[in-house]
Chain A
Amino acid sequence: TQLLEQSPQFLSIQEGENLTVYCNSSSVFSSLQWYRQEPGEGPVLLVTVVTGGEVKKLKRLTFQFGDARKDSSLHITAAQPGDTGLYLCAIKGDSGTYKYIFGTGTRLKVLA
């Protein structure tokens, strides 16, 4: 059974600081999604990474897919209070299944 571990679980930082959160899998995966979920809302898709070593940027967010396709990271530059939320990574389950596997998330709070 594939597992996705995210770290850290919780992060509280001041506005303007940089941070990195991590998502690690117990096995190789073909693609990975990052979502942000604000309190009381559903997860919103941020990005999909599909190629080993791939780097994608979304304004102040930089997403990286590990060369070995077993890990990914999300780096936020100059965090703002609007970045507050739960960051989830997700991969599709084993071939032949419709299921997705979600990490347990990193809960980020950015203080003004």
Chain B
Amino acid sequence: DVKVTQSSRYLVKRTGEKVFLECVQDMDHENMFWYRQDPGLGLRLIYFSYDVKMKEKGDIPEGYSVSREKKERFSLILESASTNQTSMYLCASRKLGPQYFGPGTRLLVL
């Protein structure tokens, strides 16, 4: 079975803090994705990576950066957290077929 894990299920941070969200997959998938999910807006793609050290902006990259130093790990960084980044963050990975998602990180920025 494909396993995608995320470092935290719940996080509470203060405005201006630097936040790291980590995602690890164990199936040697090339492609990895970060989404945020908000009520009424569905899943929106922040960034994706198609290989180690390769990344492309998604639909809403502003305020975020990513890092992919190893194939199995894809990190999302909020350089200076703001209250409008309070959301559910979902990581996904895929090889050739469908995407497989992690359990999500619910981030609250105060």
Which bracket fits the contact residues of B?
20 to 34
Asked if B58 is at the interface of the complex by the 8 Å CB criterion, the answer is yes
Residues of chain A with a CB closer than 8 A to B4's CB: 42
Q: Would you call B45 and A90 a contact (CB within 8 A)?
A: no
Known A-B contacts A98-B31, A98-B50, A99-B58; the reply to A45 vs B103 at CB < 8 A is: no
Q: Would you call B97 and A48 a contact (CB within 8 A)?
A: yes
C-alpha gap A35/B98 in the complex (Å): 10
Known A-B contacts A40-B106, A42-B90, A42-B104; the reply to A100 vs B97 at CB < 8 A is: no
Asked if A73 is at the interface of the complex by the 8 Å CB criterion, the answer is no
Q: Would you call A43 and B90 a contact (CB within 8 A)?
A: yes
Residues of chain A with a CB closer than 8 A to B31's CB: 98
Q: Would you call A45 and B42 a contact (CB within 8 A)?
A: no
**A:25-78 near B, CB below 8 Å:** 33, 35, 40-45, 48
Residues of chain A with a CB closer than 8 A to B50's CB: 98
Known A-B contacts A42-B104, A43-B90; the reply to A98 vs B56 at CB < 8 A is: yes
How many Å from the CB of A2 to the closest CB on chain B?
13
**B:32-60 near A, CB below 8 Å:** 33, 42-43, 45, 48, 50, 56, 58
C-alpha gap A90/B101 in the complex (Å): 13
C-alpha gap A90/B31 in the complex (Å): 16
Residues of chain A with a CB closer than 8 A to B103's CB: 41-42
Q: Would you call B42 and A102 a contact (CB within 8 A)?
A: yes
Residues of chain B with a CB closer than 8 A to A85's CB: none
- Which of A's residues lie within 8 Å of B, judged by CB? 33, 35, 40-45, 48, 88, 90, 98-100, 102-105
Please name the 4 residue pairs, one residue from A and one from B, whose CB atoms are nearest each other, closest first: A42-B101, A33-B98, A102-B43, A42-B104
